[in-house]
A and B are shown apart, each in its own frame.
Chain A
Amino acid sequence: MKRRGFLKTLLAFLGAASAASFVYPLSRYIAPPASTETSKTLVIAKREIPLGDAMEIVFNGVPAVILNRPGKGLVAISRVCTHLGCLVQYDKENKRLLCPCHAGIYDLEGNIVSGPPPKPLPKLPFRVEGETIVIG
């Protein structure tokens, strides 16, 4: 390789390396910082959710709903639709969860009944301690 060609290649390499050295800091900068929400527990009195009713909660920053289903007991499900992130609403009359954005329908277990959602709604861990429900 001639001297001029070598210097050109070296300059191109150094330029590319200098530009590339900013890629990592830039990608880290624009990526969202790790969530500061700590895993807490949420305590709710059982009597606040009569049979057949639901209660909307926010657990660790995630909107969710606790359903008191006749014959099937309590369940805590995320309200964030797995299609495009809208919040599902409890349709008491038809016993289902309905997404207002693209008409995704889930049953009261969070399973898909119809519409475009690709996955069921995630369930939240909970336990019943006497007269209280402990989420998380």
Chain B
Amino acid sequence: MWERVKNWMETRIGLDDLIRTQVTEYRVPKNINIFYTLGFVAAVGYLIQVLSGILLLIYYIPHPDHAFKSVQLIMHKVPFGWLFRQMHVVGSNLMIAAIGLHMLTVFAMGNYKRPRELTWVGGALLLFVTIAFGFSGYLLPWTQLSYWATTVVTSIPTAVPVVGDFAAGVLRGGEQGTGATLSRFFAFHVSILPPLFMVLVGVHIFLIKRIGISATPFGRQAEEKRPWTEYHKKSHIDGYPYYPRFFQMDMLMVMVYLAVMFALITFTPNLFFPEEATIPANAFKTPVNVRPEWYLLAPYQMLKLIPNKFLGIIIQLALFLVFLLWPFFDTEKEKNIMKRPLLRGLFLFSFILWLILMFWGRS
């Protein structure tokens, strides 16, 4: 009976063929390392966000009179509501960390180089969409911290002449943060960003599948010697099959991700909930300790340090564009960062500067 069902399905879907070509016979480079799993880990992280987010939607009410109370209800009254909210909040931070680390290791291994420029651009856009997820979700509990952090960030466009005020008004749905802002951020968080994220993931996976996985940068790869216009898929015929070898590595890192998530939930349950995150939003009182989440602390501190608002925002925009389009700036053929002292210095300088600004912004 089971065989007949299986054959019926196989005739129509061709699952065996799909698994054979995409999993068991799909080859990965022999010198692949653990950092190659971070994209998969981020995808699992997104799945956790979707599932926990759907569960939170059952009780959350996106209205300024009810948002804070509904979140408190989830945390204190609904059975296991605290667990799903903690998973969503901690998961959002971990997902950004996973994608950030993925970008960092791709950069360090030079895997953004041709013909993978668009894979990098797609990945960078995914990082920004994930940050937009975190930022838009930050307002939803309607706390003092979330309200004022959102006020600060939605004021950033006002530095741009002519259209700045209009753009800030579109973001907020008015001149100040109100119920209209909450509605807009809620719509953005649950219905605009998810399909955008999925489209970018689709493009990212398509490019990885089409071009093939880049090997680690030890010696120049054959593909780099070919002219830009010629397409040739890197198939790693002598490599290991994805399943079971690399799949085990993927699952190991997913376990590490989950272990970190539940360790944070268990041992530091208030890590992402400072005092201002437990007070309902008050539009007429700015708390002393307004600060965004850790991943926005460096740009936040930069805005503090640069005395001119317009200049501060233009510098950040320029840095964003350099990061997004980095493969087009770095045209050097050498992939190995250990053979490129200037790039290594720039990489370390940028990373350390980012860490300093982050910790400075937190203090």
Quote the shortest CB–CB distance from B188 to chain A (angstroms).
11
Interface size class of A (residues with CB under 8 A): 20 to 34
**Is B152's CB under 8 angstroms from A85's CB?**
yes
Cα A63 to Cα B177 in complex, Å, equals 12
Chain A residues within 8 Å of B155, by CB? 83-85
Interface size class of B (residues with CB under 8 A): 20 to 34
**Is B151's CB under 8 angstroms from A31's CB?**
no
Asked if A124 is at the interface (CB within 8 A of a chain B CB), the reply is no
The B interface is mostly helix, strand or loop, or mixed, namely helix
Residues 153-195 of chain B, each 1 if its beta carbon lies under 8 Å from chain A, else 0: 1111011000000100110111110001000000000000000
Asked if A100 is at the interface (CB within 8 A of a chain B CB), the reply is yes
**Is B303's CB under 8 angstroms from A58's CB?**
no
Which residue of A is nearest B181, CB measured? A32
Chain A residues within 8 Å of B166, by CB? 31
Chain A residues within 8 Å of B169, by CB? 31-32
Cα A86 to Cα B290 in complex, Å, equals 9
**Is B176's CB under 8 angstroms from A103's CB?**
no
Given contacts A84-B152, A86-B151, contact A100 B290 (CB under 8 A): yes
Residue in B154, B288, B304 whose beta carbon sits within 8 Å of that of A85 in the complex? B154
Cα A83 to Cα B289 in complex, Å, equals 17
Chain A residues within 8 Å of B287, by CB? 100
Asked if A89 is at the interface (CB within 8 A of a chain B CB), the reply is yes
Chain A residues within 8 Å of B173, by CB? 32
Cα A83 to Cα B304 in complex, Å, equals 10
Please report A residues at the B interface, Cβ cutoff 8 Å.
30-32, 35, 56, 58, 61, 63, 80, 83-87, 89, 99-103, 115-118
12 further A-B pairs in the complex, CB-CB below 8 A; given A86-B286, A116-B312, A118-B159: A30-B170, A58-B284, A63-B283, A80-B176, A84-B303, A84-B309, A86-B151, A87-B286, A99-B286, A100-B286, A116-B306, A116-B308
Please report B residues at the A interface, Cβ cutoff 8 Å.
148, 151-156, 158-159, 166, 169-170, 172-176, 180, 283-290, 303-304, 306-310, 312
What are 17 of the A-B contact pairs (CB < 8 Å)? Answer: A31-B166, A35-B174, A56-B284, A61-B176, A83-B309, A84-B153, A85-B155, A86-B151, A100-B286, A100-B290, A101-B152, A101-B290, A116-B306, A116-B307, A116-B312, A118-B159, A118-B308
